[in-house]
Structure 1
């Protein structure tokens, strides 16, 4: 009732003309969806989808690369592994709102004498060329917006990959060593292929989290055109009591998440049957 029932209700609202608090007068079919993709003012919805794409690509790539790198270093053996694991995992325990408030200050877009946050640090180190407008950049602001998300979730990806490394049997490593495999060949042909299910799981988790991202963006930039994503657009539509538009955007988001999740669930089910 509280999952599929509310999904059905959202779909019902999305095909109605409930654009005010007065309620719906009737069924309008796919008009709300057509409006979003063709008639929305300044292509607002398409703009939010573009922002979401940039954010998702940078977020997933950064978190996956950093997580794999940290897991590899810990798997190779370092002193104080417990301390490093704690440091890497700690950001995951912080809410997106709390970290967003801090990163709002760190990514202060002011430069020169009025610089703040990281730009002030760069200026103090005489690295003025590294100062940049961060999330206020009209072209790549969403890439900067993904930096806090990468910082927060890369430790979680590290934990997944580290568990994958530790789950590979010692017999496989010993067999490869007996066959004369170098360290590079061991990881390239034996260990990394074993991490494919872990990598796929991490991709799915990060992908659906990025599509629903709302709190981090709101705490860093607020409701800005430059950083608007579909989840923020839904919130602003609800503020104006445009429930039909908010529901239509929500259904599109649901379909995007389904495109990511459903193939993974099918693959998992088939894998379990073959076992």
Structure 2
């Protein structure tokens, strides 16, 4: 009896959170999946004027077979790859430079972290002008800057490029999130005990050997966390892309944009199917990380 009395308080404490989580997360995921396996593709079906029927996984098969959606998945892969590499490299390099306290470091950190405080929509409006495709006499933004310094060869169509337009949109994403990565790595550097550095130097390690064999391995958990955080943000990117391109342009569209377009045309089934595909992609990234961290905690 006493055991039951001890169990009830934590259950009652967790119950509201579990109910909210069950209804608004897992419940909505289930509802979304149910919609994705129906033939709800028209406004009449969306408003209940026509009946809907279950079609199984036909929507997924048809969606994945289309060239448009395959192009969106390729764009997502390119965007995520460039975004991840750029943000990780830039953030790590700045953290490495600032690893030792220096004069003016606080001001620099504030400036470099400032883009994080700006919404993707606001920064997208600015970067739309910077990455505009005007060249020659009408050049503006970065193309105008290249023209002024005599680097006309670097002028291009940026996000209007039919092949690599999505890569250009990764540039503002790198600018906005590399400061966050820098803060993570800088915290990792500052959390390494000075005793490890002193012990390595006493053993005759050079500065490069100190970083290569002592400090950098200590940052592996930080790097993995940064990869997962930046990776899942890039996979769900929508607002930055839409604020720069202002429409579902073929050269810059990703699955999140397709989902918005399907929903706007009352094609709820395909919109829900795209959402489930994104959920699976994000889960492929997140679940191994959660498994790894849980295993690491249990082995301590």
CA distance in 1, matches of 2:102, 2:170: 29
CA distance in 1, matches of 2:62, 2:72: 14
1:2 aligns with 2:27: no
Using the size of structure 1 for normalisation, the TM-score is 0.97
Q: In the alignment, which of 99, 106, 114 is matched to residue 130 of structure 2?
A: 106
Greater Cα offset, 134-143 or 8-17: 134-143
User: Which runs of structure 2 are paired with 1:87-166 in the superposition (5 Å)?
Assistant: 87-166=111-190
TM-fit CA distance, 1:78: 2.5
Residues 262 and 270 of structure 2 are in contact (CA less than 8 Å); yes or no, is this contact kept in structure 1? Answer: yes
Residue 168 of structure 1 aligns to a residue in which SS?
A: coil
TM-fit CA distance, 1:21: 2.5
CA distance in 2, matches of 1:140, 1:25: 39
Greater Cα offset, 120-129 or 186-195: 120-129
User: Which runs of structure 2 are paired with 1:42-53 in the superposition (5 Å)?
Assistant: 43-53=67-77
1:222-268 Cα distance to aligned partner (Å, 9 max, x none) = 22111000000000000100000000000000000000000000000
Aligned to 1:200: 224
1:35-66 Cα distance to aligned partner (Å, 9 max, x none) = 0112x3xx111000000000000000000000
1:84-122 Cα distance to aligned partner (Å, 9 max, x none) = 100110000000000000000000111111111110111
Aligned to 1:235: 260
Could you tell me which runs of 5 or more consecutive residues in structure 2 were left unpaired when the two chains were aligned: 1-22, 46-50
CA distance in 1, matches of 2:132, 2:147: 13
CA distance in 2, matches of 1:92, 1:217: 17
Residue 97 of structure 2 aligns to a residue in which SS?
A: helix
CA distance in 1, matches of 2:192, 2:126: 38
Residue 37 of structure 1 aligns to a residue in which SS?
A: helix
TM-fit CA distance, 1:73: 0.6
Aligned to 1:29: 56
1:112-164 Cα distance to aligned partner (Å, 9 max, x none) = 11111110111122221121111111222111110000000000000000000
Which contiguous aligned blocks of 4+ residues in structure 1 show a shift greater than 4 angstroms? none
Residues 164 and 251 of structure 2 are in contact (CA less than 8 Å); yes or no, is this contact kept in structure 1? Answer: no
> What value does the CA root-mean-square deviation take over the aligned residues?
0.8
CA distance in 2, matches of 1:140, 1:20: 33
CA distance in 1, matches of 2:148, 2:196: 51
CA distance in 2, matches of 1:25, 1:58: 41
CA distance in 1, matches of 2:204, 2:88: 30
